[in-house]
Chain A
Amino acid sequence: MCGATEGGLSLAGVDVAKEAVIQGQVTRGGEPVHGAYVRLLDRTGEFTAEVPTSATGHFRFFAGDGEWTLRTLAPKAEPVDKKVHAAVGNVAEVTIPIG
């Protein structure tokens, strides 16, 4: 499992050298949140992509070099914004606790 981060989402099948991966997990009280929506906003705040979290609360984006914002929406929770830096060849791992 080349490049997989311990405890993170498996990177099997992803050509990490060619992608600027942003991935991670949404949690509530330390437990994974399934079915939250994570939006990737660019440096100007414009929407770039969105994914629902998996059964284990995980999400993944293939971004580009630079600063990005992750905005997380979930039932009965206020939106949470978190800034992240991405670079081609790197995997940015982010944990997003929500209220």
Chain B
Amino acid sequence: MTRENSLVSAQWVEEHLDDPKVVLIEVDEDTTAYDKGHIKGAIKLDWTTDLQDQVRRDFVNKDQFSALLSERGVANDDTVVLYGGNNNWFAAYAFWYFKLYGHQDVKLLDGGRKKWELDSRELTDEAVTREATTYTAQEQDHSIRAFRDEVVEAIGTQNLVDVRSPDEFAGRLLAPAHLPQEQAQRAGHIPTAANVPWSKAANDDGTFRSDEELKEIYTEAGVDWSKDTIAYCRIGERSSHTWFVLKELLGQENVKNYDGSWTEYGSLVGVPVVTGDEPGEA
């Protein structure tokens, strides 16, 4: 179990606000949230402009990520603590992304921005600048990133965990309900996928449930702990949250996040799709 290595409490963050080797980074779906107020000393990463290639549908490459973190003042030996809104969806996505590029010491603030706000802890709009560094990213670790072909091959052989809401899984909705529903891709899910909404792993205040509760939730949903696992959602951010639970909190080996997720899979020509509440056959 690696909960103590990967997760920190709001209290821990308050005690390390002035620690120069701890870099707080806010990553939100609403990229303007940071500007209205953030934890003291925190910098911001924009998941759309900073972390994604602006032409191809892919992440920024190793050199671009190195340049980004150098410019923002993050060093290879810094402890990076990520937090954000939406129950840490995008912070978990950034956590997975930092792991993908080999950052050693990265943690998630349990409960993220919501827990911080519900605790009435302080937020500030003070500008934050850090001295530039020379950051060197590693090659992408593809042992934690799934691509479409291996997802198709995993049908019937690996655990596929669809972490979207039951209505998205069944095909009754195409996106989380805070977003407009008109989308180009087909509705439904990948055959054999177990539907374990990401939210089952979190309390209402956004903090993670206990390891015992988490283990039970995924076991009951039919996850076979002896098999490799691929998690997916709509665009790969909620499944990063579940990837974090399975890999970082429960210490499961061989867990991948499929960042293409339903926006890619649901647009592929010729792949099998199941609608309705049942997982379906391989």
Contact = CB atoms under 8 A, between A and B. Distances in A.
A49 B176 contact: yes
B117 A50 contact: no
B204 A79 contact: yes
Contacts of A39: 204
A97 interface: no
B199 A14 contact: no
Interface stretch (B132-140, B165-173, B211-219): B165-173
Nearest to B173: A64
B182 A50 contact: no
Contacts of A14: 180
Interface string B145-180: 000000000000000000001110000110111111
A75 B117 contact: yes
Contacts of B33: 52
A48 interface: yes
B114 interface: yes
A15 B167 contact: no
Residue in A14, A42, A44, A61 whose Cβ sees the most chain B Cβ within 10 Å: A42
- Chain B's interface size range is 20 to 34
Given A37-B114, A42-B166, A49 B177 contact: yes
A50 B114 CA distance: 11
Contacts of A52: 33, 85, 114, 117
Contacts of B166: 42, 44, 46
A73 B165 contact: no
- Chain A's interface size range is 20 to 34
Chain B at the A interface: SS class: loop
Residue in B165, B176, B178 whose Cβ sees the most chain A Cβ within 10 Å: B178
B87 A76 contact: no
B167 A42 contact: yes
Interface of A: 14-15, 18-19, 35, 37, 39-40, 42, 44, 46-52, 60-64, 71, 73-76, 79
B197 interface: yes
Contacts of B182: 15, 18-19
A3 to B, nearest CB: 14
Contacts of A75: 117-120
Contact of B167 (A48, A74, A79): A48
Contacts of A76: 120
Nearest to A55: B36
Given A42-B167, A46-B197, A73-B205, A63 B177 contact: yes
Contacts of A35: 117
B86 interface: yes
Q: 8 closest A-B pairs (Cβ-Cβ)?
A: A47-B199, A49-B177, A49-B178, A48-B165, A61-B177, A49-B176, A75-B120, A48-B177
B181 interface: yes
Contacts of B179: 62
Given A18-B181, A62-B181, A71-B204, A48 B118 contact: no
A18 B179 CA distance: 13
Contacts of A44: 166
Residue in A35, A47, A60 whose Cβ sees the most chain B Cβ within 10 Å: A47
